[in-house]
Each structure stands twice: as structure tokens, then as C-alpha cells.
Amino acid sequence: MQKKTIRDIEVAGKRVLVRVDFNVPLDTNTGAISDDSRIRASLPTINYLVAHKARIILCSHLGRPGGRVVEELRIGPVAEHLSYLIGLPVNTVRDCVGPEVENKVKALKEGDILFLENLRFHPEEEANDTYFARELARLADIYVNDAFGTAHRAHASTVGVAKYLPAVAGFLMETELAVMGKLLSAPEHPFACVIGGAKVSDKIGLVQNMLKKVDILLVGGGMAATFLKAQGHETGHSPVEEDKLNLAKKLLKEAEEWEVPLLLPIDAVIADEIKAGASTQVVPIAQIPPGTYITDIGPQTIELFSNELRKCHTIIWNGPMGIYEIPQYAQGTRAVASLLANVNSTTIIGGGSSAEIVQEMRLTDKMTHVSTGGGASLRLLEGIALPGVGALLDKSE
């Protein structure tokens, strides 16, 4: 369903409440923003509203303060960074609802920007409390949701508030939905999905839904161990979800039924310990010694996966191939990222850790699309509708 956007509504002179997802990673030592991709991704929406003379009220969550004020999670530094990026003042206020906020909103002139305090300082935000949603709504004439990364959460600022105001999508939301929509409904074939990450249990819905769409599925990462064990392989000390072995068998069978090749690693990097500096070895999958850990896919798997991916016109990637946080075990993940950056096909990176790696390797511009939403894009790939999107006006309304 196509959603109305800020292009479809008159914003000049109006008070516009814009929900963004500026839940950016903060350096654990300094508190500095370590990746500002999410802020940059919403600049087109903010710049449009400034250029069209809206009175802009921005709101976001930051981290998981759990419904109380956490000083380190105040929105100030984020607002300051936004101000730096757009070259305009961005004012802040010490709450997100209440009289002080209302006074500051009243004082907004056309093109002015006010950034509300972290929404999650109030427990009512995550509870999608009606009264709180109405307090947010009374600040504005129009509601814009540009927070794709939070669209899988039914919170007051993503769902509740949309009941009380004309609710439209921002440009980031529009782009994310268009890319994912095309991917799921009309991808150019051959279409491949590369899946990784720690647990099979996190990716069941993804595997099941993607089997109906793709021509090939490539599985790496910690979750591969559960599949390998289900096939009868020795997996050493690698974490295996014992209670998911039958499920892994079922997924392998479903892949057969859909006639979709589901490729697992054929070799692996193994180590005696999961820590930097441990001595490692590359072994074929059939020869993993008991007592060792699988830490990454091996070079032959990289080659196998690369050959398959080179044949594809559309590739979606979700999840690392190994324990990429330790550089020694990041080669498989980095190889997939590099390959995707260099093929002439549509390459889409699910949010979360895959996006983080691509950003860190400075390959973002070489991908067709890097999603700003890990959980949200995963839900879409599972075939699940996002509540934050459902709450917006349809194009036809």
C-alpha cells in the first residue's frame, strides 16, 4: 500500500511533528556519536520541511533508558550534531511533552527547528499510552514519520500519535519502503539472500519467507552451526541451539520442497578459544575437531558464495558470516561486503550489524541501498507488516 508523504500535504506555516530514528550508536568511553548514518538519512526530510517553511518539531528515542531520565541519553548531542550537518540552529527542550515544550513550540517561526527530549524518558512512550500520544499530538498540526528503524515498534510516537493528526511518511521512510517493496514483490532474478548472525531462532521467519522469493539462499555465521549439526556434522564447542535442530531440519526440507538451494559453509575457520589472538586453522566442514569453535566461514566457502552471488541480479544480505567483532574472524563477513560492493546488481543491506560493517568499510555508496532499520527491515523480509507504517495515511485517502 502506497503511503502519503510530505509531498502530498501542505506544510507551510504548519507545526509539523517529525518522528525520526536518531537512535545512533554512542562511543562507550566518550559518549560521542560513532555512526551518524541515521541522522544523515533523514536530512532530505528535514531540509524539505525547512525549505517549505514548516515549524519543525523533531522527536526520537535514544537507547533504552527504560522510562526514566538517563543523563547520558539526553538528545542534546544528537541535536547539536544535526545542527552541524544542516548548518542551522536546532533548539532543545528538557522534556518532550508539557507546558515548557508547548511554550517553545508556540515561539517557533517558519523554518525553525525544535528537538524534543528523548521520548523513552517517559514509560508511556513504549506503552503506547493514549494520553501521552495526545500530548504529543497537541504540539502539532501534522505528523510525519521518518523513523523507519522504529516502525516495527507500536509506540506512542510511532503509532498512537497518528490517530490524532494527519499522518504522512518522510522521504527516508518512503525510500526504505519502496526498496523493500520492490525487493519482495518484483525483484530482478536470479535473486539471492545471504543470511548470517548468531542464532537460527532469530531468522526462522526470514528463511521461511525468503524461500518463497529467492533462487538461492546462502547461510553463514553462528547459525550455520545449528544447520550443520542437524545434518550430522561435528560442530565442536560452537554454540548450537539444540532445541532448534528439528527446526533446522525442517527448514532444510522446506528449501528442498521450494527447490531453492540452501548453501551452508563447506569449510570453516576454527579456533580453540573465541578471543583475539587465538591460534586458528582452516578445515573442511566434515573435519571440525571436537573441542574447537567455528569462528568464520573459510576461503572455499567465500569462493563458493562469491561465485553464486556473481550470477545474481538481486542480492539481499542480513547478518555477519562469523564473529566479525574480532578482526581475525571478520574475513568472511568483509569478503561478502566487498563482493556486494563490486557486483553490478541490486544490492540491499539489511540494517543492524551488516549495515554497520558496510559503513565501517566505507562501502555504503557502493551498495544500492543500506537500510537504517535492522529490526524493521527484518520484519519486512519476514513478510510482517510494520505498525508504524500501517498508521500512516494511504495515498488514496
List contacts with ligand 3PG (CB under 6 A).
21, 23, 64, 149-150, 153, 374-375
Find the largest Cα–Cα distance for the chain.
70
| Whole-number Å distance between alpha carbons of 300 and 297 | 8
The least CB distance from residue 23 to ligand 3PG, in Å, is: 4
**How far is CA 394 from each of CA 8, 132, 159, 331, 347, rounded to the nearest angstrom?**
11, 25, 15, 44, 28
Spatial distance between the Cα atoms of 270 and 225, rounded to a whole number of angstroms: 12
Burial code of 353-367, b = ≥16 C-beta within 10 A, e = fewer? bbbbbbbeeebbebb
Tell me whether residue 199 is one of the annotated catalytic residues. Answer: yes
Measured distance CA(223)–CA(204) in Å, rounded: 11
Of 14, 38, 153, 334, which residue is the catalytic one? 38
CB count, 10 Å around CB of 186? Answer: 9
User: Based on CB atoms, which residue is closest to ligand 3PG, 64 or 212?
Assistant: 64
Question: For residues 211 and 194, what is the distance between their CA atoms, to the nearest angstrom?
Answer: 12
CB-nearer residue toward ligand 3PG: 31 or 89: 31
Choice between 67 and 375, CB closer to Mg ion: 375
25 binds Mg ion (CB under 5 A): no
The catalytically annotated residue of 134, 199, 249, 250 is 199
Those residues whose C-beta lies under 8 Å from the C-beta of residue 76, and which sit 6 or more positions away, are: 92
The entry of Mg ion, ligand 3PG, none near residue 187 (CB within 5 to 8 angstroms by kind) is none
Nearer to Mg ion, 150 or 226 (CB): 150
> Shortest approach of ligand 3PG to residue 372 CB, angstroms?
9
Catalytic-role residue among 220, 352, 373, 374: 352
- How far apart CA 91 and CA 112 sit, in angstroms, is 9
Q: Is 13 tagged catalytic?
A: no
Beta bridge partners of 16: 56, 142
Taking the complex as a whole, the smallest distance from the CB of residue 155 to ligand 3PG amounts, in Å, to: 8
Query: Which parts of the chain fold into alpha helices (H)?
Result: 37-41, 43-51, 76-86, 99-106, 123-126, 130-137, 171-185, 204-211, 223-230, 245-258, 299-310, 331-342, 353-360, 374-381, 387-390
Q: Is 44 exposed, middle or buried (0-12, 13-18, 19+ CB in 10 A)?
A: middle
Residue 149 partner contact from Mg ion, ligand 3PG, none using kind-dependent CB cut-offs of 5 to 8 Å: ligand 3PG
* Smallest separation, CB 72 to Mg ion (Å): 18
- In angstroms, give the least distance from the CB of 38 to ligand 3PG: 8
64 binds, among Mg ion, ligand 3PG, none (CB under 5 to 8 A by kind): ligand 3PG
Closest CB to Mg ion among residues 166, 375 = 375
Q: Choosing among ligand 3PG, Mg ion, none, which partner's interface includes residue 320 (Cβ < 5 to 8 Å by kind)?
A: none
Nearest approach, Cβ of residue 343 and ligand 3PG (Å): 28
Catalytic residue among 205, 375, 383, 390: 375
Picked from ligand 3PG, Mg ion, none, the partner binding residue 395 (CB below 5 to 8 A depending on kind) is: none
Identity of the residue, 62 or 304, whose beta carbon is nearer to ligand 3PG in the bound complex: 62
Q: How many residues does the chain have?
A: 397
Min separation Cβ 114 and ligand 3PG, Å:
21
Given the complex with ligand 3PG, which of 187 and 197 has the nearer CB atom?
197
- Which one of ligand 3PG, Mg ion, none is in contact with 190 (Cβ closer than 5 to 8 A by kind)? none
Q: Residue 182 catalytic?
A: no
Q: Which of 121, 124, 140 is nearest to 132 (CA)?
A: 124
Pairing of strands 293-297, 267-271: antiparallel
The DSSP line for 7-19 is GGS--TT-EEEEE
Region 319-378 residues binding Mg ion, contact defined as CB under 5 A: 375
Q: Which residue is nearest to ligand 3PG (CB)?
A: 23
Residue 21 contact among ligand 3PG, Mg ion, none, beta carbon within 5 to 8 Å by kind:
ligand 3PG
Catalytic residues: 38, 199, 352, 375
Binding stretches for Mg ion (CB under 5 A): 375
